[in-house]
A = this chain, B = another copy of it.
Amino acid sequence: MTATDYEALPALAEEAPAPSAGTVVMKFGGTSVADVDRLRAVAQRLVTAREAGNRVVAVLSAMGDTTDELVRLAHQISRRPVARELDMLISVGERISCSLCAMAIHDLGHEAISLTGSQAGIVTDTAHGKAKIVDIRANRIHEALDKERIVLVAGFQGVSTEFDITTLGRGGSDTTAVALAAALGADACEIYTDVDGVHTADPRIVSNARKLHAVSYGEMLELAASGARVLQLRSVEFARNHEVKLHVRSSFSAADGTWIREEDERMLEKALISGVTHKSAETVYRVEGVSAARLFEALAQAGVNVDTVIQTGLEIVFSADEGPGAEDALGSLGVEWSAREDLGQVSVIGAGMKSHPGVAAKMFSALEELGIQPVIVSTSPIKIGCFVARDQVEQAVQALHAAFELERPEAERRHA
A19 contacts chain B at the CB level, 8 A cutoff: no
A87 → chain B closest CB, angstroms: 8
Q: Complex formed: what's the CA distance from A84 to B107 in Å? A: 14
A73-B36, A85-B114, A86-B99 known; A104 and B92 CB under 8 Å? no
- Give A290-334 interface residues, CB cut-off 8 Å to B: none
Interface stretch, picked from A75-83, A222-230, A405-413, is: A75-83
- Are B89 and A100 touching (Cβ within 8 A)? yes
A88 contacts chain B at the CB level, 8 A cutoff: yes
A202 → chain B closest CB, angstroms: 34
A366 contacts chain B at the CB level, 8 A cutoff: no
A96 contacts chain B at the CB level, 8 A cutoff: yes
A103 contacts chain B at the CB level, 8 A cutoff: yes
Residue among B70, B79, B113, B114 making CB contact with A107, cutoff 8 Å: B79
Complex: chain B residue closest to A78, CB-CB:
B103
- Are B82 and A70 touching (Cβ within 8 A)? no
Residues of chain B within 8 A of A102, CB atoms compared: 82, 85, 88
A70-B96, A96-B70 known; A40 and B77 CB under 8 Å? yes
A37 → chain B closest CB, angstroms: 9
Residue among B73, B104, B113, B140 making CB contact with A77, cutoff 8 Å: B104
- Are B70 and A85 touching (Cβ within 8 A)? no
- Are A99 and B119 touching (Cβ within 8 A)? no
A95 → chain B closest CB, angstroms: 6
A34 contacts chain B at the CB level, 8 A cutoff: no
Complex: chain B residue closest to A118, CB-CB:
B118
A106 contacts chain B at the CB level, 8 A cutoff: yes
Residues of chain B within 8 A of A100, CB atoms compared: 73-74, 77, 85, 89
Copies of this chain held together in the complex: 2
- Are A78 and B96 touching (Cβ within 8 A)? no
A98 contacts chain B at the CB level, 8 A cutoff: yes
Q: Complex formed: what's the CA distance from A113 to B77 in Å? A: 16
Complex: chain B residue closest to A97, CB-CB:
B89
A137 → chain B closest CB, angstroms: 12
- Are B78 and A89 touching (Cβ within 8 A)? no
A160 → chain B closest CB, angstroms: 12
- Are A96 and B92 touching (Cβ within 8 A)? yes
- Are B95 and A88 touching (Cβ within 8 A)? yes
A163 contacts chain B at the CB level, 8 A cutoff: yes
A182 contacts chain B at the CB level, 8 A cutoff: no
Residues of chain B within 8 A of A113, CB atoms compared: 84
- Give A30-76 interface residues, CB cut-off 8 Å to B: 36, 39-40, 70, 73-74, 76
CB-defined A-B contacts under 8 Å, sample of 25: A36-B76, A36-B77, A39-B77, A40-B77, A73-B96, A74-B103, A77-B103, A77-B104, A77-B107, A78-B106, A79-B107, A80-B107, A81-B103, A82-B106, A84-B113, A85-B103, A85-B106, A85-B114, A88-B99, A88-B114, A89-B96, A89-B100, A92-B96, A116-B165, A140-B163
10 further A-B contacts with Cβ under 8 Å, apart from A85-B112, A88-B114, A116-B165, are A39-B77, A40-B77, A74-B99, A74-B103, A79-B107, A85-B114, A86-B99, A86-B103, A88-B99, A92-B96
